[in-house]
């Protein structure tokens, strides 16, 4: 692995932890923030496997270093699947708004509403109906937010990064 790739992944991983643990609105039921930005950028730059592993590692390290609640490995699986889906939809493609929208809808529907609600039900021993209303509101807010931010911001930053760092010949 090239040192530049390792450093970039480490910086984006650290940024994800900071955005997730310190710069997000967090309740016991939902968390709203911008931690999707570094994962989407890893997905655009390095692909689904790297994005999934970075998201899972960021979730694990964030939960160990800065716990918000009890650690549950199901959320780490959800983080991995989120990165994987971002990578499948965004890697080596122009982040067209309709692909980004489809990706965020799948993540919100399959992962946030279904899988995360299952994890919350298992973790807190409550009925899914206790969590679903708040999670629906989160999805209604996050789908357009993620679509706009990934389409406008992440794509441009990833394009700039590729031009500046990935196409230059190695220096001696």
- Condensed to tens digits (0 to 9), the pLDDT of residues 89-140 reads 988 876 688 889 999 999 999 998 889 888 888 888 877 777 788 888 888 8
Whether 172 is in a domain gets the answer no
Whether 68 is in a domain gets the answer yes
pLDDT of residue 80: 97
Whether 33 is in a domain gets the answer yes
- Condensed to tens digits (0 to 9), the pLDDT of residues 131-163 reads 788 888 888 888 999 999 998 887 777 777 777
Is the predicted pLDDT of residue 18 greater than 90, yes or no?
A: yes
Q: Which domain holds residue 105?
A: 3-162
Whether 23 is in a domain gets the answer yes
pTM of the model: 0.85
Whether 91 is in a domain gets the answer yes
CA distance 19 to 36: 9
- Condensed to tens digits (0 to 9), the pLDDT of residues 22-53 reads 888 777 667 788 999 999 999 988 999 999 99
pLDDT of residue 77: 96
Q: How many domains does the chain have?
A: 1
What DSSP line would sit under the chain, residue for residue? --HHHHHHHHHHHHHHHHHHHTSSEE-SS-EESSTHHHHHHHHHHH-HHHHHHHHHHHHHHHHHHS-SS---HHHHHHHHHHHHHHHHHHTTS---HHHHHHHHHHIIIIIIIIIHHHHHHHHHT--THHHHHHHHHHHHHHHHHHHHHIIIIIHHHHHHHIIIIISSPPP-
User: Where does the pLDDT of residue 87 fall: very low under 50, low under 70, confident under 90, or very high at 90 and above?
Assistant: very high
Is the predicted pLDDT of residue 170 greater than 60, yes or no?
A: no
Whether 49 is in a domain gets the answer yes
pLDDT of residue 92: 80
User: What is the CATH classification number for the domain harbouring 64?
Assistant: 1.10.1760.20
- Condensed to tens digits (0 to 9), the pLDDT of residues 45-77 reads 899 999 999 999 999 999 999 987 788 999 999
Whether 39 is in a domain gets the answer yes
């Amino acid at each position: 692995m090239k040192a530049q790739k390792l450093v970039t992944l480490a910086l984006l991983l650290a940024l994800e932890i900071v955005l997730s643990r310190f710069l997000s609105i967090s309740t016991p039921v939902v968390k709203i923030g911008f931690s999707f930005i570094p994962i989407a950028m890893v997905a655009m730059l390095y692909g689904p496997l790297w994005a999934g592993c970075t998201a899972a590692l960021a979730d694990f390290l964030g939960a160990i270093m800065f716990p918000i609640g009890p650690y549950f490995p199901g959320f780490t699986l959800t983080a991995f699947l989120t990165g994987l889906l971002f990578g499948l939809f965004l890697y080596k493609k122009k982040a067209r708004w309709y692909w980004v929208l489809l990706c965020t809808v799948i993540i919100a529907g399959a992962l946030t509403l279904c899988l995360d609600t299952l994890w919350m039900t298992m973790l807190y021993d409550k009925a899914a109906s206790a969590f679903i209303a708040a999670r629906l509101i989160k999805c209604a807010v996050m789908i357009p937010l993620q679509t706009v931010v990934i389409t406008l911001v992440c794509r441009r930053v990833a394009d700039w990064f590729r031009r500046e760092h990935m196409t230059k010949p190695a220096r001696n």
